[in-house]
Structure 1
Amino acid sequence: MRVLLRVLLILLIALPLLALGALALALQGQPQVVAGPQIGPDDIARARTLLQRHDPRRSAPGVQRAIALTPRDIELLIGQAGSHYAPDGQARARVSLKAGQARVQTSLALPRSLPAPLGGRWLNVDLQLADTSALPEVQSLHLGRLPVPGWLAERALPRLLEAVGLQAQGDLAQRIVSRVQFSDAMAVVAFAWPARLRDTMASTLLQPDEQERLRVYVERLAAVAPARGADRRVALSALMPTMFSLARQRAGDGPDAVRENRAALLALALVANPGALHELVPASRRWAPVRPMTVLLRGRTDTPLHFLVSAVLALEGSGPLSDAIGLYKEVSDSRGGSGFSFNDLAADRAGTRLGLRARQDARALQQALAAPLRDDDLLPDVSDLPEDMPEREFVRRFGGLQGAPYREMLARIEQRLDQLPLLKR
């Protein structure tokens, strides 16, 4: 019994010390990936082309398909996914490919709100993968200076995905992807869409508890929607206090303020975009129906969509992604759509700022948005900004995306946004 007690005492002392030592080895003071690629309109255009080419709505279930990803594609995907877990937006990746092998290096910053353990704020990951007849296998893994055997990394992966809330996504990826092959220039991913993908994706992207949280906010919108026969036009600034009073009440002093903000903004974005709610969340057909309404921001119907979609994307993890999507849309419009619009771009930037604050300063934003609002609180007057410009006119007047006049116009937009207390950086 004495020996057993001594062993237990040694373990009680040794295990925390071992854990502390592992943490000291894993976390470092500097990132190993100094800078990752910056997402831009061309990247969004490429992603859109790939999505259109492999649209599951136009593909028979079970049919094998393949998609070729460049190192840049993978770096951007990792950077965007990693930024969801780096509230300061500091997630970087570097990918090297050669025949049969891939090396993936990432640097993820701990939130600035957390103390830096043992002087290290960066988690640097160095992963070596090798081809197999199916999914790649881990050859080696280093977390900072801490080596992790490949077999241990593979066994730990399911628990890691579960810990960060990505178990369902990992399971779905394993169902869809059958093989990955590496060459010097690209990674070829073989996959097949499963049957009933829409329902599967909905349950994967929004877990049951998240769908239930979203339902609460959608049904709040159903309760405040204009009555039949009434004017269906509703200002976004009138809906925000209702939604965020509810978010503040539900979050209380608990840890779910960011999740409540996400659900509130997502409900607004889906309801403001007719048909989107039932398309993306099939279970919503069983919820209290929301009477049709036209959501306005500064008297326009397109502006709230720009604002809300950018806010949701930024809250999900990356302001640069929502900025790039907004910029891509304007470039695309200038090439045959409604034309390039700095007005829309300003709404994108305003939404991005709000979404980032909804994640980084969740409770303070709830309090601010729960108070009575005006359109001026969400978006400054940008009606004087140029819009509806074909590409030739946009290039002539502003020098394209690299022109000095274009950058000056962006700076003017940022200055106007800085004047709003809700959006001030």
Structure 2
Amino acid sequence: MSLLIKVMSWLLTLTLLGLAALVVLVFLDSRPLVPEDRTLSTAEQAWAREWLVAAKPQGLRDGERITLTLSEREANIIGNYLIDKVGQGRVDVRLTAEGAQVAASLGLPWDPEQRFMNLDLSLAGGERLPRIEQARLAGLPLPENLVQTIAERLVNALDQAHLLHHVDLQPDLALLTYEWHRDALANLGSGLVSADERDRILTYQNVLVRYAAAHPKPPTIVLADLLSVVLSAAQDASQGTSQSDPAAESRAAILALAAYTNQQHIRDPGQPDARSARTRFRPVALLGRRDLAQHFMTSAALAAQGGTALSDLVGLYKEIADSRGGSGFSFADLAADRAGTRFANLATGKRQDAQAVQAAAREGFTADDLMPAIDRLPEGMNAAAFAAAFQDTKSPAYRSAVAAIERDIDALRLFQKATR
């Protein structure tokens, strides 16, 4: 997949997930704003793939600019092709002399009531990057300060990444000028957090890199060991002054470890040559499995940043998607998602809880502190097998299975200590 596909899909996913925790609770419509009666033809899908591949920056020098031109029809094909990559739904783009109107409907595949998240954006042109004039979610206007905060954070991230240079919106035409940079994605991710939090994350990234270099064998590192090391460092930082925030330190440590576990390098925008600071990643495992470590830490990071609802939503979405053609629905993966979410809630919640988790890290975690046994949990279930056994995610059988996982997590030593 080309850099362009990664960036555009990543931004689309970020926008959708950034609203998901709120949406899943209250902002769902019974009908889609954009009708789903039209799907992309085979020819349109092939054109979208070819256009994105052709836009791939091959043989370009760092800083070289590329201008992509899209008609309104082409923008809709590309938009719907990309949204098909992240879920079910439709996008409708209208280009005018004043700017653009973007409507999107995303269906939630696990929702038996088949409701939709509807988003309606009005974008004003005339500036280097479009400005959001109005945003409506499920027909309700979003607070202007919330919209502006999200927009400013995205624009600042794009500026720091030196990625999207200019967007010119015209009637039936959009011209997007971006700069090719080898480390664009790393820069973009770094720009989405505040400067203070980024500095903390970079500190803990360095802790992890140094630990991995000092312990070269075995090649796979145990997640419990890395959590012990990085949260011990968070405890040291938390004891610096009376104004220190143990929850904030633990949050940054969790984000750094989630990035490392998923082999993502956090970029320091102040470093002129990112290639000189490439992270040499080591495989990270939980209960001997890399996938469980990734599920645990990704859910922990989402919970630390977006709350339990967002973490649960993403974890369940992933398992439903897997049951429809991926590796299959896995209750072991779901257990790792829930354990990671619960761990992050404890580590980044109340001050005394954050301090207790850091103290436990100083003593040293084991896998049994983090994750319940998975030997009896069903895995690899396709959609038909899942439906036969559990019907859907609202059924008593499914709820009972999830409740059993929760009880197993409650019984872990770390959570037993927290309830005393």
TM-score normalised by structure 2 residue count: 0.59
- Native 8 Å contact 1:270 1:277 kept in 2: yes
Aligned to 1:205: 192
> Cα deviations across residues 245-280 of structure 1 (Å, max 9, x unaligned)?
211221333354344223211222222234x22799
Q: Take 1:326 and 1:403, find their aligned partners in 2: how far apart are those partners? A: 18
Is 1:233 matched with 2:238?
no
> Cα deviations across residues 2-37 of structure 1 (Å, max 9, x unaligned)?
xxxxxxxxxxxxxxxxxxxxxxxxxxxxx9xx9223
RMSD over aligned CA atoms reads: 4.8
Alignment partner for residue 242 of structure 1, among 229, 235, 244?
Answer: 229
The residue type equivalent to 2:227 in the other structure is: M
> Cα deviations across residues 134-161 of structure 1 (Å, max 9, x unaligned)?
7467599xxxxxxx9xxxx89x998x68
Percent identical pairs in the alignment equals: 30
1:366-381 → structure 2 map (5 Å cutoff): 366-371=355-360, 372-381=364-373
- Offset of residue 131 of structure 1: 6.1
1:305-344 → structure 2 map (5 Å cutoff): 305-344=294-333
Higher RCO, Cα 8 Å, sep 6+? 1
Q: Alpha carbons of 1:344 and 1:259: their partners in 2 closer, same or farther (altered >3 Å)?
A: same
The residue type equivalent to 1:346 in the other structure is: A
Q: Alpha carbons of 1:280 and 1:37: their partners in 2 closer, same or farther (altered >3 Å)?
A: farther
- Offset of residue 59 of structure 1: 4.9
Gaps of 5+ in 1: 1-30, 39-48, 77-93, 103-128, 141-147, 182-187
Is 1:409 matched with 2:401?
yes
- Offset of residue 241 of structure 1: 2.1
- Offset of residue 406 of structure 1: 1.7
Q: Take 2:167 and 2:134, find their aligned partners in 1: how far apart are those partners? A: 20
- Offset of residue 174 of structure 1: 8.9
- Offset of residue 206 of structure 1: 4.3
Q: Take 1:405 and 1:305, find their aligned partners in 2: how far apart are those partners? A: 27
- Native 8 Å contact 2:258 2:298 kept in 1: yes
Is 1:387 matched with 2:386?
no
Gaps of 5+ in 2: 1-21, 30-44, 58-65, 80-90, 92-101, 109-116, 136-142
1:95-174 → structure 2 map (5 Å cutoff): 135=130, 168-169=156-157
Is 1:223 matched with 2:210?
yes
Q: Take 1:205 and 1:139, find their aligned partners in 2: how far apart are those partners? A: 22
Q: Alpha carbons of 1:386 and 1:168: their partners in 2 closer, same or farther (altered >3 Å)?
A: same
Is 1:269 matched with 2:258?
yes
Q: Alpha carbons of 1:138 and 1:231: their partners in 2 closer, same or farther (altered >3 Å)?
A: closer
Q: How many residues are paired up?
A: 316
Residue 348 of structure 2 aligns to a residue whose secondary structure is helix
The residue type equivalent to 1:243 in the other structure is: V
Is 1:62 matched with 2:63?
no
- Offset of residue 387 of structure 1: 0.7
- Native 8 Å contact 1:341 1:389 kept in 2: yes
Is 1:301 matched with 2:297?
no
- Offset of residue 96 of structure 1: 8.0
- Native 8 Å contact 1:198 1:280 kept in 2: no
Q: Take 2:255 and 2:318, find their aligned partners in 1: how far apart are those partners? A: 20
Residue 205 of structure 1 aligns to a residue whose secondary structure is coil
- Offset of residue 363 of structure 1: 5.5
Q: Take 1:386 and 1:342, find their aligned partners in 2: how far apart are those partners? A: 6
Q: Take 2:382 and 2:147, find their aligned partners in 1: how far apart are those partners? A: 49
TM-score normalised by structure 1 residue count: 0.58
